[in-house]
Amino acid sequence: MLLCCWFAYRPVSWEEIVTAVANAHGSAGFDPLDASGFGLGYVVWMAITFGIFSCAVWPTAVVRVCAVDDIKVVQRLYTWSSIGFMTRFIIPQFLAVCALAYFSLSEPWRAIFLTEDGKVVDDIHITLSALPIFLAQILPAGVIGLIAAGMLAAFMSTHDSYLLCWASVIVEDVIHPISGGKWTMRTRLLLARITILLIGIFLYAWSVFYPMSQDMLDYLAVSGAIYFIGAFAVLVCGLYWRGASTAGAYCALLVRLLAILGLPPVQQKLSLTSDRLGFELTAAHVGLSSMVLAVVVMIVVSVILPDQTAELKKGSTGDE
Amino acid sequence: MNEWAGFWAIMIVVSLATFAVLSVVVAVGVTSRSCWTELTNRRDRQRTMCR
């Protein structure tokens, strides 16, 4: 990755990068709170999604927490890994601004990726292909193979962890308890393997047939939100509020499905266009409002429909 | 805009330096004898538990 950054920075200078970003995005290219760019809402949405949610309910982060001895180690783990997380976001952004500067300076590419006044073209299929094309242009033979092998290794490592994680969750926490919890380890292992295969087939079908029509990071945040919005409300209320009930948890888990409204194909199907709504419905709007709604629904439904065991305990305490 | 450009330059340098240091630390760490022994012991313990 470091080698890749060095090759990316070689054909451009820092001044050229700053000029290219200023031409393409203006002050919004530098200030994340600038309303003409990301704006406060988007920054809050990202901070919650990739900050709080990813620490609290993201399986791979939670597994790390489960593997340590005490709370102090967890705090230290998150403090130090925050620098690594920042690095994971900054380095791809650095590569992207190098690509922007490179394409703004090279005439054959400039016409493809930028408009006449230096803005980025408004076509997601073209912009998503910018970084791979940039890397193919700047990396010499040999290095490009190394980078591709590294990316493939990272891709495989990520996917095998996720496949194992979700197959285990589905078998151990959903299918096995529902079926009475009497299956042998051998049967559960077989079922986990079948689940991994089914998830793999689903991933392949989804990646082939789903029309990608938004930024990759937004898509990642929305698809993650479908899981973690409900999970977060259930986890926080379940841990810190005695009044949380099963009915409330089920309703909060249903509310999370609203997060799919952050996907442009779904918005188009439901005619949630800016002409009809009067404003542009972004992933940040959908994510933040679904998150608040999930917590509200969890609280309201828990109050209206408390668990019977909690009611009984309350009754027996009152009798005494 | 210049202040922001300076801020992002510092962030990029810090990130690259962190990535470089972490790569070296992890590479030295996982190839060290004590880490390798610990990993092997854990694997053996897990295999025994699975049996």
Tell me if chain A has a CB within 8 Å of the CB of B5: yes
Tell me: do A196 and A282 sit in the same domain: no
Residue pair A53/A228 in contact (Cβ under 8 Å)? The answer is yes
Is the ipTM reported for this complex over the cut 0.95?
no
Tell me the mean pLDDT in the region A80-94.
Answer: 87
A219-234 pLDDT per residue, tens: 888 888 888 888 888 9
Is residue A149 situated within a structural domain?
A: no
Q: Are residues A164 and A282 in the same domain?
A: no
Cα–Cα distances in angstroms (integers) from residue A160 to residues A53, A57, A165, A186, A223, in the given order: 22, 19, 8, 20, 19
- Average pLDDT over chain A, rounded to an integer: 87
Distance from CA of A84 to the nearest CA of B (A): 7
Q: Which residue of B has its CA nearest to A21?
A: B5
Query: Cβ separation of B20 and A2 shorter than 8 Å?
Result: yes
**pLDDT at A28 > cutoff 80:** yes
pLDDT of residue A152: 93
On whether the CB atoms of residues A304 and A251 are closer than 8 A, the answer is no
Query: Rounded mean pLDDT of A35-64?
Result: 84
Residue B12 confidence (pLDDT): 92
B17 touches chain A (CB under 8 A): no
Does pLDDT of A122 surpass 80?
yes
Using an 8 Å CB-CB cutoff, list chain A residues near B22: 84, 87
Is B15–A31 a contact, with Cβ atoms under 8 angstroms apart?
no
Close Cβ partners of A120 (under 8 Å, ≥ 6 residues apart): A24, A25, A100, A113, A114, A127
Between B41 and A149, where is the model more confident?
A149
Residues A232 and A133 in one domain: no
User: Are the C-beta atoms of residues A251 and A298 closer than 8 Å to each other?
Assistant: yes
Tell me what pLDDT residue A320 has.
41
Identify the pLDDT of residue A319. Answer: 45
From A30, A90, A94, residue closest to B1, measured CB to CB: A30
Q: Is the pLDDT of residue A210 over 60?
A: yes
pLDDT per residue over B2-39, tens digit each? Answer: 788 899 999 999 999 988 888 888 888 877 877 778 77
Overall average pLDDT of the A153-164 stretch: 88
**Residue that finishes a domain, picked among A209, A237, A253:** A209
What average pLDDT does range A24-43 have in this prediction? Answer: 89
Q: Which residue has the higher pLDDT, B27 or A248?
A: A248
**pTM of the model as a whole:** 0.78
**Pair (A110, A13) in one structural domain:** yes
Q: Where exactly are the structural domains of chain B?
A: 25-51
Q: Does the CB of B18 have a partner CB in chain A at under 8 Å?
A: yes
Mark whether A227 and A202 lie in a shared domain.
Answer: no
Q: Do both A197 and A74 map to the same domain?
A: no
Provide mean pLDDT across the span A51-57. Answer: 81
Residue A112 has a CB neighbour count (10 Å cut-off) of 14
Contacts of A87 in chain B (CB under 8 A): 15-16, 18-19, 22
Intra-chain end-to-end CA distance of chain B, in Å: 63
Which residues of A make CB contacts under 8 Å with B? 1-2, 5, 14, 18, 22, 27, 30-31, 83-84, 86-87, 90-91, 94
Is residue A40 domain-resident? yes
Q: Mark whether A166 and A259 lie in a shared domain.
A: no
On whether any CB of chain A is under 8 Å from the CB of B10, the answer is no
Predicted confidence band of residue A317 (pLDDT cuts 50, 70, 90): low
Residue A91 with chain B: CB contacts under 8 Å: 15-16, 19
In a domain, A45, yes or no: yes
| A317 lies in the same domain as A225 | yes
* Phi, psi dihedrals of residue A259, rounded to the nearest 5°: -60, -25
A79 contact residues in B (CB cutoff 8 A): none
Identify the closest residue of chain B to A18 by CA–CA distance: B5
**Structural domain includes residue A160:** yes
How far away is chain A from the Cα of B14, in angstroms, using its nearest Cα? 8
Based on the domain organization, do A192 and A114 belong to the same domain? no
A271 inside domain: yes
pLDDT of residue A59: 76
Write down which residue in A179, A209, A239 finishes a domain: A209
Do A183 and A287 lie in one domain? The reply is no
User: Are residues A113 and A223 located together in one domain of the fold?
Assistant: no
Q: What is the mean pLDDT of residues A259-279?
A: 85
Q: What is the pLDDT averaged over residues A195-215?
A: 89
Q: Which domain holds residue A249?
A: 213-320
* Contact between chains at B11 and A30 (C-beta distance less than 8 A): no
Tell me how far apart the alpha carbons of residues A193 and A9 are, in angstroms, rounded to a whole number.
44
Q: Which whole number is the average pLDDT over A141-168?
A: 89
CA dist., res. A259 & res. A225, Å (int): 6
Model confidence at A316: pLDDT above 70: no
Among A163, A193, A209, identify where a domain stops: A209
Tell me if A30 and B23 make a contact (CB, 8 A cut-off): no
Are A5 and A113 contained in the same domain? yes
Q: Min CA distance, B1 vs chain A (Å)?
A: 6
- The pLDDT, as a whole number, for residue A18 is 93
Assess if residue A145 is contained within a domain: no
* Per-residue pLDDT at A315 exceeds 70: no
Residues of B within 8 A of A84 (CB-CB) are 18, 22
Size of interface A-B (CB pairs under 8 A): 38
Among A3, A9, A14, A18, most B C-beta atoms within 10 A, so best to mutate, is A18
- The encoded tokens of residue A230 equal 């409900």
Q: Name, in order, each residue with C-beta under 8 angstroms of A122's C-beta and a sequence gap of 6 or more.
A: none
Q: Please give, rounded to a whole number of angstroms, the shortest distance from the CA of A215 to a CA of chain B.
A: 22
Give the mean pLDDT of A1-10. Answer: 90
